[in-house]
Each structure stands twice: as structure tokens, then as C-alpha cells.
Amino acid sequence: MAQGKVIRVKCGNCQTELFRYFKDQRGALIKLYLHEVRQDNVGITDKPIDFRPKCPSCNSELGIITLVHGKPALKVNRGVINMRT
């Protein structure tokens, strides 16, 4: 059964809100499946594999888009994002 909640994901550098994301598991956020992004302030949901999105405000590199279990996901750089419920 899918349980989870929508969280706010912010840039760890400048605190700009980057995404709202439906997170279905506890624990650290290390990847964001693109199909679970509910609000995309960065513009990643239509980007190709290997794209490296940046914070629209401070230009910090957020991570890299890659395939996780066959689905496109943003694998986030450590310490780059904050998440809030």
C-alpha cells in the first residue's frame, strides 16, 4: 500500500523552494522520482537522463537525473537540499 506525504524540498544553500514531492518512505531523501514531483519550480520533469539541474536562485548544482529501478529520478547531491514536511 502506498503511504506517504507531500514534502517541500528546499535548496540547502539559499532555502528557495525547489519542489513539492510525494515521498513514500521514511529516511533521508537521496533521490526524487520525477513522476512523484508534484510541483516543479526548477523544471526537471521533462529533462533527459544525465541532465544536471541547478537551483534557479543560487545556481547550486542539485544532482543528476538518472534511472533508478528503470524510472527517471533526480539523484541529489549530499547536503544540497533540505526537506520539510
Residue 47 vs residues 8, 20, 52, 65, 66: alpha-carbon distances, Å: 20, 17, 9, 8, 10
The x, y and z cell numbers of residue 58, run together, are 543560487
11 lines the binding site for Zn ion (CB under 5 A): yes
Kindly report the number of other CB atoms within 10 A of residue 21's CB atom.
Answer: 24
Give residues 61-80 in contact with Zn ion (rule: CB under 5 A): none
Shortest Å, Cβ 70 to Zn ion: 30
User: Which residue of 13, 66, 77, 82 would you call a contact of Zn ion, by CB under 5 A?
Assistant: 13
**Binding residues vs Zn ion (CB under 5 A):** 11, 13-14, 16, 55, 57-58, 60
